[in-house]
Amino acid sequence: MKVWRLFGSEHSANLVMIGRFKEVTDAIKAKEVIDSIITQVRADEAAGLLKTGDLPDRYTDGMLELFQRVEVHTIRPEEVEQFSYEVTVKVDGKNVVLTTEEMDVSVFLKVLIDEGARVEVYSAHKYPGTGYGRGK
């Protein structure tokens, strides 16, 4: 659950991010990287090492080891909490499709680009009928 620290009206963005890859295996690998980071964030939260709303200035040991293993080098420590937000990530052929109500999604964009995707991002509120989005 995200704790809101700022006022804004973007709480229901219905955001869609599509990473388009050259090969299905690339899309699967990118989703696996995202899933492994989400799993590590949940473990860090459960261990009391990460708390949503507190912006850390360092990675946990587990996160640092994971980033080295999956070769993610573009995410800043204060961005890691974005992986704790509610998102749906799925592979659709050569695409990784992420849907969320959040606007703060830079970490997902970084992972998709690092893994070789061409990325499209839009609000399903503004572009209904694309087959993606929450509550479609």
- 134 located within any domain: no
- Residue 28 and residue 33: Cα distance in Å, rounded? 9
User: Which whole number is the average pLDDT over 39-67?
Assistant: 94
Would you state the pLDDT for residue 8? 53
**36 has a pLDDT exceeding 90:** yes
Q: What is the pTM of this model?
A: 0.86
Tell me which residue range forms the domain holding 95.
11-123
Number of domains into which the chain is organized: 1
- Quick: pLDDT tens for 59-86: 999 999 999 999 999 999 999 999 999 9
- 57 located within any domain: yes
- 2 located within any domain: no
Q: Residue 94 in 3-state DSSP? A: coil
- Residue 101 and residue 62: Cα distance in Å, rounded? 28
Which of residues 10 and 118 earns the better pLDDT score? 118
Would you state the pLDDT for residue 10? 47
Length reported for the chain: 136
Would you state the pLDDT for residue 136? 52
Asked if 44 and 52 touch (Cβ cutoff 8 Å), the reply is no
